[in-house]
Structure 1
Amino acid sequence: YLHFVGVRSAYQGKGWGGAIIREGLARADAEGLPSWLETATPANVPLYQRLGFVTQVEWDIPKGGPHFWGMMRPAA
């Protein structure tokens, strides 16, 4: 489970977030484990798809809360 990944706005779009995620994925791959994440940021969905994640479920938080994507990357 990739819990939290954040990059300061001045550094976004420069590959730092992807590098952090790839490090976590390398660890999961070394152990033959799948990876799961959840995001409420629509712009991040294509990034995660490029890293091999597939949307498994989507949901909305009640009373006007954000929309979420639950995404899985199979074990390598």
Structure 2
Amino acid sequence: MTTSDPLRIALERALTDFEVLPDALTDEATLEDLGLDSLAVVELTDRLATDLGRDLADDTLQPHMTLLHAVTALRSPR
């Protein structure tokens, strides 16, 4: 997927470091579908917090979230 949304780009870049194939990165794919368990999702959240230079709660992302919902969660202030 081609996007100019910086949060989506950061999420996709981080997910490829978790060995997720770019073709699997669809709006409807859940983090769990992409092979991430709850611990990996916390690690992903920590990675995104560093990459984005923001504090993110460990529960910002959840395994059942689609990529579209994950971007929305990253955009929402906490």
Normalised to the residue count of structure 1, the TM-score between the two structures is: 0.32
Greater fraction of residues in strand: 1
Greater fraction of residues in helix: 2
Larger C-alpha radius of gyration, 1 or 2? 1
Normalised to the residue count of structure 2, the TM-score between the two structures is: 0.32
